[in-house]
Amino acid sequence: MEEPEIIFENKDFLAVNKPSGLMVHGVRVSPARQRDAARAAEPTLVDWLRAHRPEVGGVGDDPAIRPGIVHRLDKATSGVMVIAKTQDAFAYLKSLFQDRRMQKTYLALVFGVPHKAQGTIDAPIGIRNGSLKRSVHSSKMAKPAVTDYAVVRTWPGFSLLSLHPRTGRTHQLRVHLASIGHPIVGDPLYGKKAQPAFARRLLLHAAAIAFKDAEGSSFDFEAPLPPDFTFPQD
């Protein structure tokens, strides 16, 4: 498994480039299934943090499961994550996400070409009955969700989009893009059953994140597209 790459680090936090295929953290399991869970456990970003930055171990609102983790990316999504190294930094970074003062930019390769070169998807996301999947057509536990998009480049049948989520709902970008008829290429949950041969994984990448720290200093971290983020042949 490819390891995370440190983009930046200071006494309060570090920014890492998470590879696709790496879970951010594990899940809590009952004692009765602890043995099975341990046997089937996958490597996580938290495992890497505990090995390389053990001081993060006691940071957060659930340090036993997700020490230092202020936000997360899906397992298949690559890109920038910011991780708190102190409890004060955790509280501050968490407030930035809650108050929508953390600016995030994603890149996604999607099926089709949107009619508008840029636009906004404003559609609450709920949970489908009898499923863990999310949908804009379900009112169950629905929460407001807003995503801005812009077309970066097009190919016959595909587009590269720049995405700016204003909210942070689970699977928000994947659900929103599927809802407008442009699912992300390589998405096994919300995408098309037939995927192109070049799609080796979910083609969604957290390209950049920008914010100001408690002292007012500006930070803007970027992660280049990794080699496994592939495109149609020109």
Claim to verify: residue 141 and residue 40 sit in the same structural domain? no
Short-list 74, 141, 70, CA closest to 101: 70
Report whether pLDDT(24) > 70. yes
60-99 pLDDT, tens digit per residue, is 999 999 999 999 999 999 999 999 999 999 999 999 999 9
> Does residue 14 lie within any of the structural domains?
yes
Query: Where in the sequence is the domain holding 9, given as residue range(s)?
Result: 1-99
pLDDT value of residue 36 = 46
Claim to verify: residue 171 and residue 201 sit in the same structural domain? yes
> Does residue 36 lie within any of the structural domains?
yes
Short-list 61, 96, 88, CA closest to 168: 96
Of 99, 134, 169, the position where a domain reaches its end is 99
Is there a contact between 102 and 213 (Cβ–Cβ < 8 Å)? no
Report whether pLDDT(193) > 70. yes
Q: Is the dihedral of CA 76, 81, 86, 92 positive or negative?
A: negative
Q: What whole-number percentage of the chain has pLDDT above 70?
A: 94
Give CA–CA dist 48/52, Å, rounded: 6
Is there a contact between 203 and 226 (Cβ–Cβ < 8 Å)? no
Claim to verify: residue 78 and residue 141 sit in the same structural domain? no
Q: Is the dihedral of CA 21, 71, 163, 9 positive or negative?
A: negative
Residue 74 annotated to the active site: yes
Claim to verify: residue 108 and residue 201 sit in the same structural domain? yes
pTM for the model stands at: 0.92
107-148 pLDDT, tens digit per residue, is 999 999 999 999 999 999 999 887 778 999 888 888 999 999
Kindly name the residue from 62, 74, 213, 234 that is annotated as catalytic: 74
6-21 pLDDT, tens digit per residue, is 999 999 999 999 999 9
Claim to verify: residue 189 and residue 110 sit in the same structural domain? yes
The CATH number that applies at residue 183 is: 3.30.2350.10
For the ranges 1-5, 175-179, 188-192, the lowest mean pLDDT is seen at: 1-5
> Does residue 221 lie within any of the structural domains?
no
Report whether pLDDT(39) > 90. no
How many structural domains comprise the chain? 2
